Structure 1
Amino acid sequence: MAEKNVNDYLEEGIYGPKELKPDEKRRFLGTFRERVLLALTKKQVMKKGTFPEVEQMLHDHPDAVMVVNGKLGYKALSAYTKLASSYGVESQRITSLDKQSDIGLVLAKGEAVHKEEIFVEETETEQGREEEQKPWWKKLFGLG
């Protein structure tokens, strides 16, 4: 291991300690991508109810940690945090994100799992229900 010189100390003082993959950690709420079992976008977390895939992962991996995006409202996150506590899984709320993340919830382990598909895909029926909903003013006037 190379010894630090004066420039290294100055850079660390100005910019802070060096981090491994800082953009990846910001996106996945402070977790490395290789440790993620399952991830939901903000839009998916905001939907009513919970995804059954999350419950299955909580059941299969009780040693995992659920990390939720603290910038989302309590109402959206409470169902997932209650679900995690019912399976004895620790949940953390991360609010100190420097940049915006498109991720709303991450279920991760302490070590690398290298799972290829981590995002929950929505079925066509769920997407179709969103398209069927009419704006309130069309319902009011009976249009469309």
Structure 2
Amino acid sequence: MDKKMKEVLDHAIYGTPELKPEEKALFLSNFAERIHIALTKSQVMKAGTYGEVIQLMKTKQNLKLFLNGNLSYSIYSNYIKEANQQSVPFTIVTPTSETPFGLVLADAATAISKTSFVIEDDWYKQDMNEL
């Protein structure tokens, strides 16, 4: 059987292959190259909000907020309130595998050139040490 025929049959049987499934599972259904900022679950759970997230919502266009559905609504409600004020759509994602991330603010459609998108504070280090 030639390669093209096998691809057509595999597509019909198994569906469209997913790109980078491990990366998307880790970053709440996002590709790393689209992320402006990502917070771990502990960072989201701390009192208040991170100013860096709010500032990005106020200054960047074409954003979408992704929140970890395994966290309680009361934990991330401040971020939802701010997203609504800034007209940033949000999605609550229930991860299918373990992820340290509780919030991802990403570009809705295109890749961005950013070398680091995490805030490496004590909360971040705590979550990364648990992995």
Is 1:72 aligned to 2:58, yes or no? no
Runs of 5+ in structure 1 lacking a partner?
A: 128-144
Counterpart of 1:59 in structure 2 is: 58
Q: Which amino acid aligns with 1:78?
A: S
The structural deviation recorded for 1:67 is: 0.6
The structural deviation recorded for 1:8 is: 5.6
Counterpart of 2:96 in structure 1 is: 98
Counterpart of 1:35 in structure 2 is: 34
> Over aligned residues, Cα RMSD in angstroms?
2.3
Runs of 5+ in structure 2 lacking a partner?
A: 125-131
- More RCO (CA 8 Å, sep 6+): 2
Structure of greater Rg:
1
Counterpart of 1:121 in structure 2 is: 120
Counterpart of 2:45 in structure 1 is: 46
Counterpart of 1:140 in structure 2 is: none
Rate the CA distance shift 1:46–1:7 in 2: closer, same or farther, 3 A.
same
Identity %: 36
The whole-number CA distance in structure 2 between the counterparts of 1:65 and 1:21 is 19
Aligned length: 122
The structural deviation recorded for 1:34 is: 0.2
The whole-number CA distance in structure 2 between the counterparts of 1:39 and 1:19 is 22
Counterpart of 1:17 in structure 2 is: 16
**Does the Cα contact within 8 Å between 1:64 and 1:89 map onto a contact in 2?**
yes
